C-alpha cells in the first residue's frame, strides 16, 4: 500500500476547511437544537507504514527504508459534543502497541551482536476535530471526520533470544512527540460506532544525532461503544 504526498496535501486542505467550518458553526449552533454529548470507549486494530530517512552523507547500504508494522492494536476513550444535528466536535485519547520486525526501526549496528525475536512499541496519542453526519435524521448515521493531535512514543520492548526482554526507554534516541493528522469514515447506530481511520505524521521524528529520522502513516479499523450520554441545555 502506498501513500503519496498528494494525500498529505489533501488532508491539510481538509483540516483548513474544517477549521473554518468550526468557527462558523460556533455562532450558528446557539440558534439550533443541540442533541447533547457522549463519552465512550473504543478499540482499534490495523497497520502502520514507516519511512526512514538519512542525512546525505550516511551510507545506509541495503537497509530497508520503507517497511510496515506486523500489526497495531489499542484502545482508548472518546468524547463527542453535538453542535447541531449535522456537525459535532470530538476528541479521543488512546494507547497502542505496535509490533515491528526487529532491526528495521533503528540502526542495524546497535543489535548486530544479538538475535532479537520480537520488538514491541508502546505509544499514546490524543487528538480532536470535527465530525460531519451525512444523514443526521436516520438511525443508521454515516459520517466523515477530520482531527489533529499528537503522538507520544513511550518505550520499546525487545525480546532477545538468550536474555529475554529488555526495555529501551530512550526509544533509540528518536523524538518522542510528533504532531499527527487523521481522517475517518464510518457509521453510528444507537450506542455503536464503527469506522476506518487513516493517520499521517505531520513531521519526521529525528534521532538525537540528527542523522536519521522516521515518519509514519497508518490505517485502522475502530469500534466504539457509548457509555455515558447527556442532553445539552
pLDDT at 115: 76
- Please give the pLDDT value at position 9: 55
- pLDDT at 75 (0 to 100): 98
How far apart, in whole angstroms, are the C-alpha atoms of residue 138 and residue 193?
14
Pairing of strands 164-168, 205-206: unpaired
- Give every CB contact of residue 129 below 8 A, 6+ residues apart in sequence: 15, 18, 89, 90, 91, 145, 146, 147, 148, 182
17/148 Cα distance (integer angstroms): 13
Residue 17 confidence (pLDDT)? 54
User: 447506530: which residue's cell?
Assistant: 189
The pLDDT assigned to 13 comes to 56
* pLDDT means over runs of 10, the chain (233 residues): 45 55 47 72 97 75 81 97 96 97 66 73 97 96 98 92 87 93 97 98 90 92 96 70
**For domain 5-230, which CATH number applies: 3.30.210.10, 2.40.160.20, 3.30.390.50, 3.90.1150.10?**
2.40.160.20
Domain segments of the chain as ranges: 5-230
pTM: 0.80
Helices (H), the chain: 5-28
Amino acid at each position: 500500500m502506498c501513500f503519496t504526498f498528494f494525500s498529505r496535501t489533501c488532508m491539510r486542505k481538509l483540516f483548513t476547511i474544517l477549521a473554518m467550518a468550526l468557527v462558523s458553526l460556533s455562532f450558528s449552533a446557539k440558534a439550533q437544537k443541540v442533541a447533547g454529548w457522549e463519552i465512550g470507549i473504543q478499540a482499534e486494530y490495523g497497520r502502520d507504514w514507516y519511512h526512514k530517512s538519512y542525512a546525505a552523507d550516511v551510507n545506509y547500504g541495503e537497509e530497508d527504508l520503507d517497511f510496515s508494522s506486523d500489526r497495531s492494536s489499542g484502545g482508548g476513550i472518546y468524547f463527542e459534543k453535538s453542535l447541531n444535528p449535522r456537525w459535532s466536535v470530538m476528541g479521543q485519547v488512546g494507547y497502542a502497541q505496535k509490533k515491528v520486525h526487529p532491526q528495521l526501526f533503528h540502526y542495524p549496528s546497535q543489535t548486530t551482536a544479538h538475535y532479537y525475536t520480537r520488538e514491541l512499541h508502546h505509544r499514546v496519542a490524543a487528538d480532536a476535530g470535527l465530525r460531519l453526519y451525512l444523514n443526521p435524521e436516520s438511525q443508521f448515521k454515516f459520517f466523515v471526520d477530520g482531527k489533529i493531535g499528537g503522538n507520544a512514543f513511550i518505550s520499546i520492548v525487545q525480546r532477545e533470544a538468550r536474555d529475554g526482554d529488555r526495555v529501551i526507554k530512550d526509544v533509540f534516541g528518536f523524538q518522542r512527540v510528533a504532531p499527527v493528522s487523521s481522517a475517518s469514515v464510518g457509521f453510528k447506530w444507537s450506542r455503536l460506532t464503527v469506522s476506518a481511520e487513516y493517520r499521517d505524521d505531520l513531521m519526521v521524528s529525528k534521532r538525537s544525532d540528527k542523522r536519521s529520522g522516521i515518519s509514519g502513516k497508518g490505517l485502522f479499523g475502530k469500534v466504539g461503544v457509548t457509555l455515558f450520554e447527556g442532553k445539552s441545555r
